[in-house]
Amino acid sequence: MKPFEIFRSGTHTDSRGRPFTFSDEDLTAIAEKYDPALSHAPIVVGHPKQDAPAYGWVKSVRFSDGRLVVETEDLESEFSDLVKAGRFRTRSASFYPPEHPNNPTPGQYYLRHVGFLGAAAPAVKGLKPVEFAGDDEAIEFNEPMAGRVAWALENVARMFRGVRDFVIAEKGVEAADTIISGWSIDTVSEVAQALRSEPATPSLNYSETTEDDMTITIAELERRESELAAREASFAESQRQADEARRKTNAVDDAAFVTSVVEAGRLPVGLKDLATALFSDLGDEAISFSDAGEDKQMTPREGLRLLLERLPVPVVQGELATGDGPDFSDPLHVSEAIKSEIETAKARGETLSPAEAGMRLTRR
């Protein structure tokens, strides 16, 4: 890994709201006094209180153009691959304060460790992706709590907006509004923007509203996410029940319609079960066809109903077909005739549905 920046001179505010000013002379002293034999600063993930485990070590520290630049050694290959893959996009420094009992150079700052962080926003501007944070035993530099909460709210708003867009695409705007409204998401985004706009000045409130407030915020977000998941599950179940109820209603209506067609003499009684079964397998997607030169659209169910309604009532009572035609009084014979008609059409490169094959047979 090439040498990289970890800190710059200037006034910065640590995670407990305390401002610290580092001059070029301070950083020069930190670089000059760093000695791995005296205290070897580890490369860590986050800011563990015991600085363990170490994924590498700081070999040297130098001061250049107002920045502290470190060179590493003994890096774990797997950790190095994660950094190259962008899993840790920001870095932060932790220092022993001059008066700390464990400071190897009493009276001046000393580099304690360098932490690699994941999805965290930089607090000190002007560095190549660098951030500063720490624990209670060291001076920590981190983004103010308002910025961290704003970042969390922006991610929540983005997540909710994605869910809403998915529901709109699947079920429509009205269904999406029953789960989460657009104005609710906009409100979260507005709050995040307002937090971003607040001046990051150190104050007593910053030192008091840290981990506890963040825990409450995360708990609230988790609660809302759980509620959203429950509402989505409830909506999906209600849709399933509605589809099942519609299917049952259609089955009753279709059976009654076929019965009426048979009683009217338009369809042999032997075909009643077949016609009813055909209805149960039809979908609700519209089909297009030409009728006397006019383009029309209707669902397969509507088409089969129209076909059966227009069947002529036989003038001669008795068998409806003679000779080589199908015997419409025999359901098994009719089923075989329909299959044969479909196969014959397929051999000619034509695709027929069972209803279309039946219509051809009735016209012979």
Question: How does DSSP assign 143-195, residue by residue?
Answer: --HHHHHHHHHHHHHHHHHHHHHHHHHHH-HHHHHHH--HHHHHHHHHHHHHH
Return the pLDDT at 151: 63
Amino acid at 268: P
Return the pLDDT at 217: 56
The Cα 289–Cα 314 span in angstroms is 28
Return the pLDDT at 48: 66
Helix (H, G, I), strand (E, B) or coil at 331: helix
- HSE value, Cβ hemisphere, 13 Å, CA-based, for 235: 17
The Cα 107–Cα 131 span in angstroms is 25
User: Is 307:317 a contact under the CB 8 Å cutoff?
Assistant: no
111 exposure class (CB count in 10 Å sphere: 0-12, 13-18, 19+): buried
Q: Alpha carbon 140 to chain centroid distance?
A: 34
Return the pLDDT at 129: 43
Q: Which of 156, 153, 181 is nearest to 167 (CA)?
A: 181
The Cα 152–Cα 156 span in angstroms is 6
Return the pLDDT at 258: 87
Backbone angles phi, psi at 74, to 5 degrees: 55, 45
The residue count for the chain = 364
User: Is 108:98 a contact under the CB 8 Å cutoff?
Assistant: yes
**For 1-19, what is each residue's pLDDT tens digit?**
788 888 888 887 766 667 8
Return the pLDDT at 32: 94
Return the pLDDT at 134: 40
Q: How is the chain split into domains, by residue range?
A: 4-143, 147-240, 264-362
Return the pLDDT at 211: 42
The Cα 255–Cα 253 span in angstroms is 6
Residue owning tokens 């929540």: 156
**For 316-335, what is each residue's pLDDT tens digit?**
444 444 445 555 556 667 77
Q: Alpha carbon 254 to chain centroid distance?
A: 41
Return the pLDDT at 313: 73
Q: With a cut of 70, list the residues of the chain below it in pLDDT.
A: 14-17, 47-52, 118-152, 195-221, 283, 289, 291-292, 314-332, 363-364
Measured CA to CA in angstroms, residue 247 lies from 28, 279, 328 at distances of: 79, 11, 29
The Cα 23–Cα 123 span in angstroms is 18
Return the pLDDT at 238: 80
Give the number of other CB atoms < 10 A from CB of residue 316. Answer: 6
Token readout for 350 is: 């034509």
Question: How does DSSP assign 187-217, residue by residue?
Answer: HHHHHHHHHHHS-----HHHHHSSHHHHHHH
* Cis amide linkage into residue 53, ω under 30° from 0: yes
Rg of the Cα atoms in the chain: 38
Residue owning tokens 């104005």: 183
The Cα 28–Cα 30 span in angstroms is 5
Return the pLDDT at 358: 77
